[in-house]
Amino acid sequence: MSNNKKYSIGEFSAKTGTSIRTLHYYDEIGLLKAEKQPSSGHRQYNDQDVLTLQKIVSFKFLGYSLEQIGKMMKESSFNSNLNDTLQKQKKAFEQKKEQIETTLNAINRTIELIAGEGEVDSPVLMSLINSMQIEKDQRLCVEQHISKDVADQLFNKPKEELVALDKEFIQLSKEVKRLMGKSVHDPEVQELVDKHMKATFEFVGEEAIYAMQDLEDLEKEKLENMFSSPYTKEEEEWLNQAMEYYMIQNGMYTPKVD
C-alpha cells in the first residue's frame, strides 16, 4: 500500500471511523503521531497510518490498555509473551462475562418480582439483590463449612423455583413486618412462624438444616452473616422469640435450665 497519499485529520477521521478527538489524543501520547505541515502546522496522515491505527484498534478490541498497546506497537513480531498476555486477557474477560451474567440474572429475577408483586419494600428487595450478588461467595462458604452436595442442593435450583422462592420470601417478610410487636403466643404469629419454618426447610433442605446444627458457633455465625436479612434488629429479635416458642411447642427444642 502506498504511503504517499496525504489526508487531513478530517479526511483521516472519515476514512477510519475514528473521531478527531481520539486522533488528537493518540497524537499527544505518541501512539499515532501525525505529520505536521511545515507551513500551516496542520496534522496530516498517510496510508501507513491507516495500518498503524488498525493495529491499535485490534489491540483495543482484545482489551489492552493504551499504555500496553504503545509497548506492543514497538514489536516487529510476537512470540509466547503475547500468548501469555492473551491468556491473562482471556481470564479477565471470562470473569467479566461471569459478572455480567450474574447481574443479568439478578435483573431478570428482580423484574419478575416487581411485575408480580407490584410493590416491594426497599429492605426486602435490597436483601434479595444482595444475596443474588454474592451467591458465588455464599456457595463457596457452604461448600467449605458443610459440603458440596448441600451447596448443589441450595444453589442449583431451576429459575422458576428461584422466582417462586423469592415471591414466598417477600410475602413472609411482609407478614413479619405486619405482625411485628404482637405476642409470640398469638395464633396468627405462630401460623406465620409455621410458614416460615416450612419455607426454610423447603429451600435449605433437611440435610443442610441438621448439618448447620452440628457446626461450631464461629462457623455458624460466619455462614449466617453471608445471608443478608431484610429485618431490623427489633424484628429479628421478635421473630427469633416467636420461632423459639414455636419450636418448644412442637418438641423441636428444649431450653437449657441453669
* Chain segment 103-146, per-residue pLDDT in tens: 888 888 888 888 888 888 888 888 888 888 888 888 888 888 88
Question: Which DSSP category does 37 fall into?
Answer: P
Residues 20/10, Cβ–Cβ less than 8 Å: yes
Q: Is 134 helix (H, G, I), strand (E, B) or coil?
A: coil
pLDDT exceeds cutoff 80 at 255: no
Q: Return the pLDDT at 1.
A: 46
Which range in 115-119, 177-181, 194-198 is most confidently predicted, on average pLDDT?
177-181
Q: Return the pLDDT at 5.
A: 85
- pLDDT more than 90, % of the chain: 31
Backbone angles phi, psi at 131, to 5 degrees: -65, -40
The radius of gyration computed from the CA coordinates of the chain, to the nearest angstrom, equals 30
Cα gap 125→107, rounded to integer Å: 12
Q: Return the pLDDT at 257.
A: 60
Q: Return the pLDDT at 56.
A: 93
Domains of the chain, earliest start first: 7-76 (1.10.1660.10), 82-249 (no CATH)
Task: Please give the distance of CA 189 from its chain centroid, rounded to a whole number.
Answer: 36
Q: Is 30 helix (H, G, I), strand (E, B) or coil?
A: coil
Residues 124/171, Cβ–Cβ less than 8 Å: no
pTM surpassing 0.85?
Answer: no
pLDDT exceeds cutoff 60 at 258: no
Strands (E), 41-162: 43-45
